[in-house]
Amino acid sequence: MATNKHAIIRYQTLDKCFRNPGRTYYIEDLIDACNDAIYDYTGNENGVKRRQVLDDIKFMESEQGWNIPLDHIREGHKVYFRYENMGFSINNQPLNETEENQLKEALLTLSRFKGMPQFEWVDEITARLDSGLGLSKINQQIIEFEQNDYLQGLEYITPLYNAILYKKALNVIYKSFKREVNQSIIFHPYYLKQYKNRWFVFGLNEEFGQITNLALDRIASIDESKQAYIPNTTIDFNEYFEDVIGVTLDKEAKLEKIQLRISNDLYPYIQTKPLHGSQKTKEKGDTYVVIELELIPNYELESLILSFGEGIEVLSPETLRDKIKNRVQMILNNYV
């Protein structure tokens, strides 16, 4: 644990020392007290040094800290530290400016989870703290997340989450893009995943007898089924998506090495935001860079490649190269 992560432990320890009338604390004593507390809480023997403790005291005395009323009492050549008012404690003080700003930032960040399961408390706690912190008075937005609040199907996240948590089979009325009429599916949900701002639920579809995914924006209704829940015993979803981009995984597809030629103009973007975790640079030319990915080709990979236009060329495998070539030809046909 890094030194700055021990800050709360040190502040609480110093506070106890400063309000202890039965002992005199010189700087060496404060250092020892902080290091003992850190060890007791974390088991970490790598304690703090004199400079860190002096910086902590300076922060606690500042307006950004708690503005503590601290006496620096000289005794010979040494100085000990004690609160002017021994009844003072940082735990009895209102939030300082730093804590207030940190709490505001945390609540604003959490607000992006509104409507999601287990985050119903965000609205309530924000309202309760608003009178003290003035969150509603913040009129300058300084951070924005990519999120579509108008996406259909968001209301199903909570019931699906709870069905996964409490192992409940569901009767799902589903309208696929590929069918004209709604389907009634007995579905055993296992996992929720967001991709490109759309939500998908993965589970066992009894009609097909295999793991499939449903897009939440295509769900018409969800009801608890009387069918016994069939638990997931075959798939570790932490590993399930490691070899794919997106949410489509063809059971028959195999892991392949994919080589792409990237133009020099595009490469800095691909380098700083890799297409996949397996991305490796294989070759650098005067006008291009060749990268290699190791994953299972799917529709999302094709769409990602096409989104970069002329900046990417598929070198191998030949099957993927042909798919991209055919899709590009169809695009061209639209403009003839």
SS (H, E, C) 38-84: HHHHHCCCCCCCHHHHHHHHHHHHCCCCCCCCEEEEEECCEEEEEEC
The predicted structure's pLDDT at residue 143: 61
Q: Worst-scoring range by mean pLDDT, 44-53, 167-176, 194-203, 268-277? A: 44-53
Helix (H, G, I), strand (E, B) or coil at 162: helix
What residue spans define the domains of the chain?
3-92, 97-137, 154-240, 256-333
Report the distance separating Cα 310 and Cα 195, nearest Å.
Answer: 25
Q: State yes or no: pLDDT of 280 exceeds 90.
A: yes
Q: State yes or no: pLDDT of 106 exceeds 90.
A: no
Confidence of residue 237 (pLDDT cuts 50, 70, 90): confident
Confidence of residue 147 (pLDDT cuts 50, 70, 90): low
Q: State yes or no: pLDDT of 100 exceeds 80.
A: no
Q: What CATH number matches the domain at 154-240, 3.40.50, 1.10.1060, 2.30.30, 2.60.40?
A: 2.30.30
Q: Which helix (H) or strand (E) holds 260?
A: strand 256-263
Report the distance separating Cα 153 and Cα 281, nearest Å.
Answer: 40
* Best CA proximity match to 103, nearest among 67, 68, 128: 128
Confidence of residue 306 (pLDDT cuts 50, 70, 90): very high
Q: State yes or no: pLDDT of 301 exceeds 60.
A: yes
CATH class for domain 256-333? alpha beta
**Mean local confidence (pLDDT), 161-175:** 92
Higher-scoring residue by pLDDT: 132, 154: 154
Per residue in 192-232, pLDDT (tens digit) is 998 888 899 999 998 888 888 999 999 999 999 999 999 99
Long-range contacts: 322-325, Cβ < 8 Å, 24+? 323/297
Under 8 Å between Cβ of 99 and 35: no
Q: State yes or no: pLDDT of 91 exceeds 90.
A: no
The predicted structure's pLDDT at residue 45: 74
pTM for this predicted structure: 0.60
CATH class for domain 3-92? mainly alpha
Report the distance separating Cα 133 and Cα 126, nearest Å.
Answer: 9
